[in-house]
Amino acid sequence: MSETTPSPGNRRHFLKSATVLVAAAACAPGTDATITTDSPRAQPLRDADLNSAQLSALAEAVLPAALGAEGQRAAVTAFVAWCDAYEPVAEEMHGYGYADVRYLPADPVPAWRAQLDALDRLAQRVHHAPFASRSLAERQALVAQATRSVRGERLPSPLTASHIAIALVSHWASSPRAWDMALGVQVAPMTCRTLDGAVQKPLPIVSAASADSGVRSGSRT
């Protein structure tokens, strides 16, 4: 099939990004970089239909608190867009060392949807209330209970994650924001940048609070 055909091209871009990130150095302590899609398809193949309240509550429980509410919402939005854009059993980009045709895994979203529902059922059994209504500590304990059988020291690819909590963290961990947070500077990998500052030292990360403080300070002078 022609490389200029939109669908295979998107698949190949997806696999290329996945290969680079999985092979890269860890983007956060104790984790490996994993698949990301910074440019999801303009026309999603289907609606992931993940419960937004449950997913947001899960994100708050498993993503770094340093992200803040806005950062966690952005991570959830990117994860859902990635789920919508994923094309199950699509042809992989041909890699080095093999000539056979390989295909991506089946759609993981139905299992993740069931796991979100299972977290809610677990919360109902333990706390007699929905998962999203519980405190942060209670939600974290529920997630720990739901994933207690998961083994491994590194984050897997989101596609092979055995639980949606792990898939969500894995997907975020490969994002430019995660790399910046891990390195403590603005490197913005996997993004288009100009060559003007290529030889300059990366700028430090400026938090929203610091930026707001600077604006207020400047307005007084």
**Phi then psi dihedrals of residue 150, to 5 deg:** -75, 130
pLDDT, position 131: 97
* 211 part of a folded domain: no
Strongest mean pLDDT among 16-25, 77-86, 145-154, 169-178: 77-86
Give the per-residue pLDDT at 189.
60
Give domain status of residue 137, yes or no: yes
196 occurs within a structural domain: no
In a domain, residue 159? The reply is yes
Q: Classify residue 122: in a domain, yes or no.
A: yes
Whether 173 is covered by a domain: the verdict is: yes
Let me know if 104 is exposed, middle or buried by CB neighbors in 10 A (0-12, 13-18, 19+): middle
Residue 220 lies in a domain: no
Count of structural domains, the chain: 1
Which two three-digit tokens encode residue 128? 């007699």
Task: Please report the DSSP string for 57-125 in residue order.
Answer: HHHHHHS-GGGHHHHHHHHHHHHHHHHHH--TTPBPPP-TT--S--BPPPP-HHHHHHHHHHHHHHHHH
The domain in which residue 70 lies consists of 6-184
139 within some domain: yes
- pLDDT tens for each residue of 21-41: 333 333 333 333 333 333 333
Does the predicted model carry a pTM greater than 0.75? no
- Most distant pair of Cα atoms in the chain: their distance: 66
Q: Tell me: the pLDDT tens digits for 128-141?
A: 999 999 999 999 99
Q: Is the pLDDT of residue 5 over 60?
A: no
